[in-house]
Each structure stands twice: as structure tokens, then as C-alpha cells.
Structure 1
Amino acid sequence: MKRYLIAFLAAAFVSGTAFAQASPDSVAKTAVEGTVTAMKADPQAKSGDMAKITGFVQTRFVPYTDFLRTTRIAVGQDAWNKATPDQQKQLFEQFQLLLVRTYAASLSQLRDQNVTFKFVPSSTPAGAKDTVVQTHVLTGGDDQGIDYRMEKTADGWKIYDINMMGAWLIQVYQRQFADQISKGGIDGLIKFLTEHNARGAG
């Protein structure tokens, strides 16, 4: 299994009223295992139907993440504040589309894998609004550690960043986005993301 694929696996996040008071690790466990189980149980998804797999991502992943916060941090507060509301909307939509497709591609390669997840019990203090959940993704003889940063919202814990092999997802995109902004401003970054997504749709 390619390492970069595992980084997105733990990001599937099921929330809702039932999980509003649940610990971050227990919610993540339900989300990850539930998403993978649903994919493996669906004949079309298991056969590699990307539309079907993407549908699972959109319904089980997107509603329960804070991609707006992810986008805002990755773009940078200064650049984000200077962007118009329409530019912010385009940045959010294009970045979310990129992540959804990446996650769907990850799941498509895991559909025939025998994967086991181990979640480190949370030691998050009462009243905390931000925490990091540590996990292990086991496949064959491989043990891959994944950390993911979560925020406490009115609807429960939501994920907004992932750390794999010492690299936080937001930090990786911050460098790429800063480079694009320095070259062409906010519109240049939007163009970069839009063209990237267009290639992915081809």
C-alpha cells in the first residue's frame, strides 16, 4: 500500500448528535471503520467504481470535516483576509474537491486490502477545543502511524489536519499555496487548483 494513501484514510469522519459528546478517538474509530466497511460491502465500490467510492466520501466524510478551516489555514490568514468572498468560496470549493478526489482514490486502492486500525485512547483534557488523535494503520507487516488534529465544535469533534511521517497536511499545502500566491496572487492559486482538478477529472 502506498504510504500517501494511508494518510487520508483516517480522515473519514462520521459525526452527528450521537457523537457530540464522544471522545475524539472513539468518533474517529467509528468513522474510519464504518467508511471502509461500507465500501467493501458495496459491489460497485469494491470493483473500483470511482463514482460510487466518491459518493461514500461525500456522504461520510465531507459533512463532518472542517475543510473551510483547513483551507483558511493552508492559504494563510493574511492572504485569506485579502481575498474577496467570491475568491474565498472558489478556494474552498476547489481545495475540497481536490481532497475528496484524493481520498476516493485512496479508498479505491484499499478495497481489497486487509486493513486493521488501532486507535490510541484519548487523553484530551476536559474542556479542550483542539487535540491530536494517534492511530496505527496495520496492513500485512506494515505498521503506519498517523496523527490527526481535531477540533471540538457544537456538533462534536471534527478533523482538519493529518500528520504522517512528520509532515502535517496543512503545512505541505501551505508551502505549495504560498508559492502559487507569490507568482499569481489569489487568482493564480485558484487557477492552479482549478486546472489541477480539471486534469484529475479527465
Structure 2
Amino acid sequence: MSPNRATAHHWSLLLTLLIWTLPLAADPGLTPPQQVIERVSDGLRRVLREDRDRLASDPQYVYRLVDELLVPNIDVARLSALALGPVWREATPAQREAFAEELKRTLIRTYATAVDALGEWQIQYLPTPFEPDQERAVVRTRIRRPGGEPISVDYRMARRGERWLAYDVAIEGVSLLVNYRSTFVRLAREKGVDGLIEELARHNAERAEP
């Protein structure tokens, strides 16, 4: 079992945009949520450029890189709860923990497999109203590719203490969270929460990192 092809494609595209986004100009006036997106994209891009040979010779390095640099900036707990929708309330604490872990593995695997398709991008941060006491924010961007049409990418983020974490991204208005929810809720209704977790675990194991 896997999220539908559109969802997988969008998550792969998200990784591409996060890693290879190149700010049009350094802007000290970026809001805290915007700074998170900029910092992650710059950090991943720098490591990938410096370690291209290692990426080619050590496939596991890609998984570790994504796990260490990208995943900490995703609110996996919030994403897990929202992705299960009403089923989350029915799940036991153990089921919630197991689902969140398999969802994280899904994200790592999907992101890592997109590395080979990376290219050069430019990112433009669009003006977005922001107040210091906000608990949620949307970072609106426009991605420009050489020879391609601009792509609208919006990151939905939430404050966790002093940090801002992403929990959804909409590419050209298509929410990845909504796509996940439609798939996971349907499978949970068909097979139960344990069945959904088993399907995710099996799918992740079949495509486990080398």
C-alpha cells in the first residue's frame, strides 16, 4: 500500500523544492516561519553539493541526511493526527505511536528517493501578514525553474514552543495532507488501524533503504 501516485509525486517534488530552492536574495526581513524554510533548504543544498560523491557511493547516506536535517523541521505528530482525521481519536496511544513512526519512515523514504531528480530552482517568498504572537502561519512561495513555469508552493506551519514546524504543503493548491488523509482514512476503515499500520510497515520494508 502506498499513498496514491499524485501524493507520492507531490512529496517528492516537495523534497526537491526544499533542498534546491535558491533564494532570489537574502532577506533579513523574512518572518520566523520563512526563515525555517530558507535555513532548511540552504543547509540541505550545501550538504548535497559538497557530498555528491558520497551520495552516489553510499545510498544510506541520503536516508540519514533526510532524517537528520529535514524531518526535525516537520511536525510529524501534528501531521500524523491530521492525516488520520477522525480515526486518530479512535486509535490507542500505542497505535498512534506506531502510525507516526511508519509515517515518518514513509516521508524519509519518499524524500530520499527524490534526490536523483534534483535540479536548480529559485524561490521567491511572497509577502504574508505575520504577527509575533501567531501560533500558525502559511509561508507562500513561488518556485522558478529554468525553462519552466513558476510553481506555487505554500507551507503550513505551526509553532511548537520557540520553533516553527511544517505540517502540510500545498503545491499549486493541492494539499498533501488532504491526499494523505483520504488514503489513510479509507484504508483504516477497510482494514482497521492495525491493518493500516501493517500496510505502511510492509510497504516501507519492501522499499527499505539499501
TM-score category of the 2 structures, normalised to the smaller one: 0.7 to 0.9
1:50 aligns with 2:40: no
Gap runs ≥5 in structure 2: 1-7, 20-29
% identical aligned pairs: 26
Q: Structure 2 vs 1, CA of residues 109 and 64 (structure 1 numbering), >3 Å: closer, same or farther? A: same
1:132 aligns with 2:141: no
1:23 aligns with 2:52: no
Aligned-residue offset at 1:22:
5.6
Residues 87-98 of structure 1: pairs in structure 2 closer than 5 A: 87-98=95-106
After superposition, give the CA deviation of every residue in 1:136-176 in whole Å (9 maximum; x if it has no partner).
22221222221110011213211010101221111001110
Aligned-residue offset at 1:122:
3.8
Q: Does the residue aligned with 2:131 lie in a helix, a strand or coil?
A: coil
TM-score by length of 1: 0.84
Structure 1 counterpart of 2:42, from 16, 27, 33? 33
The CA distance in 2 between the partners of 1:182 and 1:50, in whole Å, is 36
TM-score by length of 2: 0.81
Q: Does the residue aligned with 1:152 lie in a helix, a strand or coil?
A: strand
Residues 86-125 of structure 1: pairs in structure 2 closer than 5 A: 86-110=94-118, 113-125=119-131
Aligned residues: 190
1:199 aligns with 2:191: no
Aligned to 1:153: 160
Structure 1 counterpart of 2:89, from 74, 81, 85? 81
Is residue 11–residue 162 contact of structure 1 (8 Å, CA) maintained in 2?
Answer: no
Is residue 7–residue 163 contact of structure 1 (8 Å, CA) maintained in 2?
Answer: no
1:177 aligns with 2:184: yes
Residues 54-73 of structure 1: pairs in structure 2 closer than 5 A: 54-73=63-82
The CA distance in 2 between the partners of 1:60 and 1:86, in whole Å, is 27
**Bigger shift: residues 49-58 or 181-190:** 49-58
Aligned-residue offset at 1:46:
4.6
Is residue 40–residue 46 contact of structure 1 (8 Å, CA) maintained in 2?
Answer: no
RMSD after superposition: 2.3
Is residue 146–residue 164 contact of structure 1 (8 Å, CA) maintained in 2?
Answer: yes
Gap runs ≥5 in structure 1: 13-20
The CA distance in 2 between the partners of 1:179 and 1:170, in whole Å, is 14
Amino acid paired to 1:97: R
Q: Structure 2 vs 1, CA of residues 130 and 176 (structure 1 numbering), >3 Å: closer, same or farther? A: same
Aligned-residue offset at 1:45:
4.5
Aligned-residue offset at 1:87:
1.0
Q: Structure 2 vs 1, CA of residues 10 and 63 (structure 1 numbering), >3 Å: closer, same or farther? A: same
Aligned-residue offset at 1:193:
0.7
Is residue 58–residue 100 contact of structure 1 (8 Å, CA) maintained in 2?
Answer: yes
Amino acid paired to 2:80: T
TM superposition outliers: structure 1 runs of 4+ over 6 Å: none
After superposition, give the CA deviation of every residue in 1:73-127 in whole Å (9 maximum; x if it has no partner).
1011x321221221111100001100111111222321xx222222224422231
